[in-house]
Each structure stands twice: as C-alpha cells, then as structure tokens.
Amino acid sequence: MGNSNSRLKHASMETGQSERLKSGYTKQTEHAEPTVQSAVAAAEDRSDIDTIVSNKAIDWSIIDPDNRRSYHNLESSIYVLPEEEREQKRLMLQVSIRSNKLNNQGYFQNRILGMAFGSYVLAPLRHPNKSRTILDVGCANGEWLESVFFSGNISSHFHGDITLNPSNLGTVCGAKIVFGDVTDRLPYPDNMFDYVHQRALVLAIPKQKWPHVLNELIRVTKPGGWIELVESSGKIGNATGASKAFADRAEAALKARGADIDLVANLPEYVNACANLTNTDKRAVEIPLGWGGEIGELYAEDCRSAMVHAGDFLQRAFGMESDEYAKLMEGAAADWPKSKAHSQWIAVWGQVVK
C-alpha cells in the first residue's frame, strides 16, 4: 500500500518513546535556555553546511542506543522517520492532502493531497468501474487504498506492502498485505497489476535507486496499465529566518544521507527516460504552510510532526542540543505564515508498453 515506508522489509527494534520526545523536546539544565534567535544564529553560524552535516547524516544509525524507538532496519535504508503510532497518524493526515471529497464515513484522511490534487487517482484510467488489480507501493497504514475503495470509482483487487499492525489493515477494502523492498525486487511476477501507485518515498529511496525503482514498478504492471507517483522534495519555498535556517540544514543532512532533494524537478526526467512508458504527464501543486485556510493549517501540522519525529536524526545532524533544536523548530513554524512559505508536490504518471 502506499507511503513513506514502502521500500523496506519490516523489522522493529525495542518500541517506546524516548523521554525527550513526549512533547517535543525537554529543556537542558546544563546551560541557559536558548531563544529562537540564538537557535537561528547557531544554525547559520557555519560557513559550509554540507561539510558540517555530511558525516553525521551518513553515519547516523537506527541502532543508536539512544534511539529507543521502532525503525526500519534494512541495511540499505536511508529512512529516518520512526514507525510509532504518532507517525502513522501523521501519514493518515498526509493522505488526505490529496482529495477534497469527504466520503460518507467522514474519514479523516479525505481532508488534505485531493484538496491539492483533487483526486486520489490522477492517471487517466479508462472504464473507471472496471475491476482492476491495484498495487500501492509503500502503503504504510493503508489509508490511500481505503480512500480509493470508498471513492466508489474503481472496483478493484488491492495489494500492498505494509509496515505497522498489518492485522488491523485490509479489513475494509480487502487488501492483501505483502512485505517487500522496491529498491531491490518486488515480490510479484511480471505483468501482474493494472495500476501501480507510489507516493511520498523521497526520504526512503536513495537518489541513485530511482531509475531502478521505476523499472521495477513497470515490470509488475501489465501492458496498457498505468504507474503513478506522487512526491515532494521536502524543500520549503519562500523560507526566511528560522524557516530558512532549518530548511537549509535539513536539505544538507538529507542530501548527505542519500535522498534526492531535487526530486520534484528530477522525477519527470526519470519517468521520461523509461523506454517502456508512453502517454506520460505530470501535475505540480504548491501546498501552503500555515496559511491559506484549512489545507495550510493541516499541512503545517504534518510538517511540524515530521520535524519532531525525525528529531533523533536531525538534531545530531544539526549539531544541536535538544532544546536548541526545539527552539529552531518553533521559530521555523512561526515564520511559515509570515513569508507565505509553501512546499511543492508533483504527480507523474505514464502508461506501460511492452
């Protein structure tokens, strides 16, 4: 099914929250509490951000003894977000960014990427009521599949690879839960699916692996079927002050970790380079952060949560104490609406020919 955890086989470490993450980050008693201004100054007071964060970003490990949380532990993983329940709830919120239709059950996930994109399915599938076999790569908690199911537009058989509490999933839409690694080989034969969907894996797939991932999606798709990807680079547009200080260092850390921080620009090129795709198209949207009404408020909540959940990695990469990191986060979130900050997402799709 689809979201950030798509590419990995599942393995958990000892679960539970570290004490400092109960409400963000606790104060350090060894030194004076930082202000937002001092945190911004600390973030900016390095002449070469790429050099400073590179080793810490590359070497950070999910088996760090201080990380008393559940992570993916596949050796090839670059993913830095945990598998805890709070992160799964954030992903549910993120799914709703895609469709502005509320289903009869009032599912929460139908409220935010349809507000931006207007639909759960952007590829121009013909005969929308035709029964199809769908694969959602990186399905996380399965919310996208259930959203497609409740939309009533596609009668389908569903598959996905899942990461958390699989016993609780697939009960509504009938999805079959399968573990797999799209950066290696999906556990499906060639030409199995009519429609393959993947989203929000920029933090999961190393930059050099994207061409392979696309070819793997194509491999399991039937001739005439469609693949669709919805992604963000994680970059913040119109960032100023604390927002820019945080964004610049986060981009440098994720780049050092191996992520494609230019994915919004690169993904259409990756797709167009695939010889087995035709009728390719794309749609880009800018989602406001903390302004622009409900969608901006919800997306700001999503981004704030991601900043907290990735704190084990980012505060080390930034070279900050936990309270200093918390102040920088606070300042960044406060600056978003002031500068009309936004994040760009892109949907790209194509039809398979073999």
pLDDT at 110: 43
pLDDT band at 128, cuts 50/70/90? low
Measure the CA dihedral 180/182/183/187, to 10°. 50
Distance CA 197, CA 134 (A): 8
For the cut 70, the answer to whether the pLDDT of residue 173 exceeds it is: no
Out of 100-114, 209-223, 248-262, 325-339, least confident range: 100-114
Out of 118-127, 147-156, 175-184, 281-290, least confident range: 147-156
pTM, two decimal places: 0.75
Better-scored residue on pLDDT, 292 or 101: 292
pLDDT at 250: 93
Question: Mean pLDDT across the stretch 122-132?
Answer: 77
pLDDT at 149: 76
Those residues with Cβ within 8 angstroms of residue 155's Cβ, 6 or more apart along the chain or in another chain: 129, 130, 131, 132
CA distances from 205 to 3, 7, 54, 154, 280 (A): 12, 7, 18, 29, 22
pLDDT band at 100, cuts 50/70/90? very low
What is the DSSP-derived secondary structure letter of residue 98?
A: B
Q: Which residue is associated with the tokens 């008693």? A: 29
Better-scored residue on pLDDT, 77 or 149: 149
CA atoms within 13 Å, Cβ hemisphere of 48? 4
Out of 90-104, 141-155, 205-219, 308-322, least confident range: 90-104
pLDDT at 104: 29
pLDDT at 309: 83
For the cut 80, the answer to whether the pLDDT of residue 6 exceeds it is: no
Distance CA 269, CA 305 (A): 31
pLDDT at 272: 95
Tokens of 178: 């399968």
Q: In this structure, what are the phi and psi dihedrals at residue 61, rounded to the nearest 5 degrees?
A: -125, 145
For the cut 90, the answer to whether the pLDDT of residue 230 exceeds it is: yes
Among residues 159, 100, 103, 155, which one has the least CA distance to residue 127?
Answer: 155
Q: What percent of the chain has pLDDT over 70?
A: 62
Most confident of 48-62, 189-203, 289-303, 340-354: 340-354
Q: What is the mean pLDDT of the chain?
A: 74
Most confident of 30-39, 62-71, 201-210: 201-210
User: In 3-state terms, what secondary structure has residue 311?
Assistant: helix
pLDDT band at 74, cuts 50/70/90? low
For the cut 90, the answer to whether the pLDDT of residue 21 exceeds it is: no
Question: Mean pLDDT across the stretch 79-93?
Answer: 57
Q: Which residue is associated with the tokens 């532990």? A: 73
pLDDT at 84: 57
pLDDT at 318: 92
CB 217 within 8 A of CB 182: yes
